[in-house]
Amino acid sequence: MSACRFCPIVEGVGLLGYRIHKHTHKAWTVYRRSLKMSGSAFESLEKTLEKHIPDEELKEVKRILFGKETKKLVLPACAMEIALERDFELQGYMFEASTEQLRAPRTVRVGLIQNRIVLPTDAPVLDQITALHKRIGEMVDVAAMCGVNIVCFQEAWTMPFAFCTREKEPWTEFAESAEEGYTTRFCQEVRGELAKKYNMVVISPILEREEVHNVLWNTAVVVSNSGSVLGKTRKNHIPRVGDFNESTYYMEGNTGHKVFQTQFGKIAVNICYGRHHPLNWFMYSMNGAEIIFNPSATVGGLSEPMWSIEARNAAIANHCFTCGINRVGTEHFNNEFTSGDGKKAHQDFGYFYGSSYVAAPDGSRSPGLSRTRDGLLVTEMDLNLSRQISDKWSFKMTGRYEDYAEELTRATKQDFKPNIIKE
Ligand SMILES: NC(=O)NCCC(=O)O
> Does a structural domain hold residue 211?
yes
The closest of 225, 87, 235, 86 to 156, measured between CA atoms, is 235
66 plus 35 within the same structural domain:
no
254 plus 309 within the same structural domain:
yes
Note the helical H segments in 332-379.
none
Contacts of residue 226, defined as CB under 8 A and 6 or more positions apart, other chains included, come to 195, 196
Report strand pairing: 321-326 vs 107-114.
Answer: unpaired
DSSP characters for 90-136?
EEEEEE-----SSS---EEEEEEEE---SS-TTS-HHHHHHHHHHHH
Q: List residues with catalytic annotation.
A: 155, 235, 272
Q: Judge contact between 182 and 129, C-beta under 8 A.
A: yes
19 plus 87 within the same structural domain:
no
Percent of the chain that is helix, strand, coil (3-state, to 5) = 35, 25, 40
Would you tell me how many other CB atoms lie within 10 Å of the CB of residue 61? 13
33 plus 100 within the same structural domain:
no
Q: What is the pLDDT along the chain (423 residues), one digit of tens a residue?
A: 444 443 444 444 333 333 434 444 454 444 444 445 556 679 999 999 999 999 999 999 999 999 999 999 999 999 999 999 999 999 999 999 999 999 999 999 999 999 999 999 999 999 999 999 999 999 999 999 999 999 999 999 999 999 999 999 999 999 999 999 999 999 997 544 566 678 999 999 999 999 999 999 999 999 999 999 999 999 999 999 999 999 999 999 999 999 999 999 999 999 999 999 999 999 999 999 999 999 999 999 999 999 999 999 999 999 999 999 999 999 999 999 999 989 999 999 999 999 999 999 999 999 999 999 999 999 999 999 999 999 999 999 999 999 999 999 999 999 999 999 999
pTM: 0.91
Note the helical H segments in 290-358.
300-318
How far apart CA 249 and CA 157 sit, in angstroms, is 16
Would the CB of 364 count as within 6 Å of ligand 1? no
The closest of 11, 15, 42 to 28, measured between CA atoms, is 11
Which atom number of ligand 1 is nearest to the Cα of residue 276?
8
Q: Looking at residue 287, what DSSP letter applies?
A: T
pLDDT digits (tens, 9 = 90+) for 200-253: 999 999 999 999 999 999 999 999 999 999 999 999 999 999 999 999 999 999
Half-sphere exposure of 131 (CA within 13 A, CB side): 15
Total residues belonging to the chain: 423
Q: Judge contact between 317 and 279, C-beta under 8 A.
A: no
Report strand pairing: 375-382 vs 107-114.
Answer: antiparallel
Distance from Cα 27 to the centre of ligand 1, integer Å? 27
Distance from Cα 297 to the centre of ligand 1, integer Å? 6
> Does a structural domain hold residue 410?
no
> Does a structural domain hold residue 297?
yes
Q: DSSP strand E in 240-345: where?
A: 260-262, 265-269, 291-296, 321-326, 328-329, 332-337
109 plus 13 within the same structural domain:
no
Report helix, strand or coil for 258: coil
How far apart CA 183 and CA 208 sit, in angstroms, is 10
Supply the pLDDT for residue 36: 52
How far apart CA 210 and CA 196 sit, in angstroms, is 25
Q: Judge contact between 172 and 216, C-beta under 8 A.
A: yes
339 plus 277 within the same structural domain:
yes
Q: Taking the mean position of all CA atoms in its chain, how far away is CA 161?
A: 14
Would the CB of 272 count as within 6 Å of ligand 1? yes
> Does a structural domain hold residue 278?
yes
> Does a structural domain hold residue 422?
no
Distance from Cα 402 to the centre of ligand 1, integer Å? 31
**Number of domains observed in the structure of the chain:** 2
- Going by CA atoms, what residue is nearest to atom 6 of ligand 1? 298
How far apart CA 251 and CA 217 sit, in angstroms, is 6
Q: Write the single-letter amino acid at 401.
A: Y
> Does a structural domain hold residue 208?
yes
CATH label of the domain that carries residue 138: 3.60.110.10
> Does a structural domain hold residue 262?
yes
248 plus 217 within the same structural domain:
yes
225 plus 259 within the same structural domain:
yes
Residue 104: C-alpha distances to residues 93, 266, 300 (Å): 20, 17, 42
5 plus 103 within the same structural domain:
no
Would the CB of 136 count as within 6 Å of ligand 1? no
Whether ipTM exceeds 0.85: yes
- Going by CA atoms, what residue is nearest to atom 9 of ligand 1? 298
Supply the pLDDT for residue 13: 37
Report helix, strand or coil for 328: strand
248 plus 322 within the same structural domain:
yes
Which atom number of ligand 1 is nearest to the Cα of residue 156?
1
Q: Write the single-letter amino acid at 110.
A: V
195 plus 282 within the same structural domain:
yes
The closest of 149, 111, 142 to 325, measured between CA atoms, is 111
Backbone φ and ψ of 14, nearest 5° = 80, 170
Would the CB of 156 count as within 6 Å of ligand 1? no
B/e letters for 175-192, b = 16+ CB within 10 Å, e = fewer, are bbbbeebebbbbbbebee
Distance from Cα 240 to the centre of ligand 1, integer Å? 9
264 plus 302 within the same structural domain:
yes
Q: Judge contact between 204 and 157, C-beta under 8 A.
A: yes
Q: Judge contact between 159 and 129, C-beta under 8 A.
A: yes
Domain housing 35? 1-39
Q: Taking the mean position of all CA atoms in its chain, how far away is CA 36?
A: 22
